[in-house]
A and B are shown apart, each in its own frame.
Chain A
Amino acid sequence: MIKVENLHKTFGKLEVLKGINCEVTEKEVVCVIGPSGSGKSTFLRCINLLEEITDGAVYIGGAQVNDPKTNINDIRTEVGMVFQQFNLFPHMSVIDNVTMAPMLIRKMDKKSAEELALELLDKVGLREKADNFPQQLSGGQQQRVAIARALAMKPKVMLFDEPTSALDPEMVQEVLDVMKALAKEGMTMVVVTHEMGFAREVADRVIFMDGGYIVEEGLPSEIFANPKNDRTKAFLGKIL
């Protein structure tokens, strides 16, 4: 589903990703963990080309995203992304947030787009908030709308960048529950997270990143129970 080959990313002189290789198969849930500044967000953002790729290649469903001949907009419709800061569109109601892209890009008519949106809002438990505006919702609710918005494009892959880090503690669980349900349905997911409980429970594989490298990866049970790399040990020691 996703294949990353020797991915390098530099910001000016700063090399943030120093050769990432990784593959995510269909229906797999991969959690990416690691200290702040290790390049987790950058890695995720390179997958749908929100960051330009300096060197290497990323493939999604066989298409190389950083090939100039690829239409990146087409690929992005297949890759949903959920941001730490939700990034809902504040000038649109909740339902308009969800229907906008399907209507604009998939050329869905308003009625079927709204049916789809209500179905998805139902799924994230927010059907009754359809006509509210984002700033009338709590952080957790906003993030669930953001998930519904991404799902409305019927993506094949979902990328999450610390989806619960900006939330008050009591709202974290409601978002994680939605993500869990999504994983159970067989969505392919790459999740950058500090929620080790979630990683342990839901992930098929955990990737530990540090200093622009994938330092260690494996089953959550292995990584959490007996990490092999010293840096992984140090990181988990601090966080668990």
Chain B
Amino acid sequence: MDFLFNLRWDIIWNYRELFLQGIWITIVLTVSGYIGGIILGVFLGLGKTSKKKWIYWPCKIYVDLFRGTPLLVQILIIHLALIPTIFGHSLGVMFSGIAALVLNSAAYNAEIFRAGIESIDKGQTEAARSLGLTQGQAMRKVILPQAFRRMVPPLGNEFIALLKDSSLVMVIAVNDILYAAKVVAGAYQKFWEPYLTAALLYLILTFVVTKIVAYVERRFSIDYNPRKNKGGRVAR
């Protein structure tokens, strides 16, 4: 264990600004990827519950494509092939990185939304429709409010997964946490210090996110029973 005492943590300190920037970039990547992924995921998820084939199939193919291929491959295709082909030139690594995370997490979120919607008893839709609500009104007033509560835990997991997966955009040189580690490693030919630092930073971030997710879960995964849920979390 001698080497632990010979580690040169001062080199990390010298590059602290790069790491701080990396933290910021990782947060931006994850949060934008997550928000975009939820918005797109809602539509894909609703699409996957559709009875109309021309809605269902494109959504299904999209989801299967993105869930069936590695994110790393998607990042490379999007940055090096897709965006240059569409726009004629690169829109920057950050744009590509966020785009890849949005498109990828949307596919996973779509499944969460679909499963959440389909987990609500069919009788709920029927009761709503029998009162004269349209499909859209039934969705908004009856199905989604119930489904949402069930989606909170898996959506929280998705956030944590995305935070860690965001490190893959380093491959197109987005200057996130892992990129900072790589720069330091290259400069000093030292590997323990920078990569341990990166690991530690991710650990801290996931810890914070886990706490946030747990809080949100407490707020929203509540029972419908107003008397019981005064005390916070309610076991069903």
Contacts and interface: CB of A to CB of B under 8 A. Distances in A.
Q: Classify chain A: how many residues form its interface, as a range.
A: 20 to 34
Interface residues of B, number: 22
Contacts of A149: 131
Contacts of A81: 126-127, 130
Contacts of B50: none
Interface stretch (B62-70, B78-86, B139-147): B139-147
B126 A89 contact: no
B127 A76 contact: no
Interface stretch (A56-64, A97-105, A181-189, A202-210): A97-105
Interface string A76-118: 1101110101011111110000001100110000000000000
B132 A91 contact: no
Most interface-central of B124, B130, B134, B141 (chain A CB within 10 A): B130
B201 interface: no
A83 B141 contact: no
B225 A91 contact: no
Interface string A55-76: 0000000000000000001101
A50 B129 CA distance: 8
B10 interface: no
A229 interface: no
Contacts of B145: 91
B133 A83 contact: no
B138 to A, nearest CB: 10
B137 interface: yes
B224 interface: yes
Interface in A138-153: 146, 149-150, 153
Interface string B14-50: 0000000000000000000000000000000000000
A100 B227 CA distance: 22
A79 B133 contact: no
Given A76-B131, A87-B126, A90-B224, 9 more contacts: A73-B129, A81-B126, A83-B123, A85-B123, A87-B121, A89-B127, A101-B132, A104-B133, A149-B131
Interface of A: 48, 50, 73-74, 76-77, 79-81, 83, 85, 87-93, 100-101, 104-105, 133-136, 146, 149-150, 153
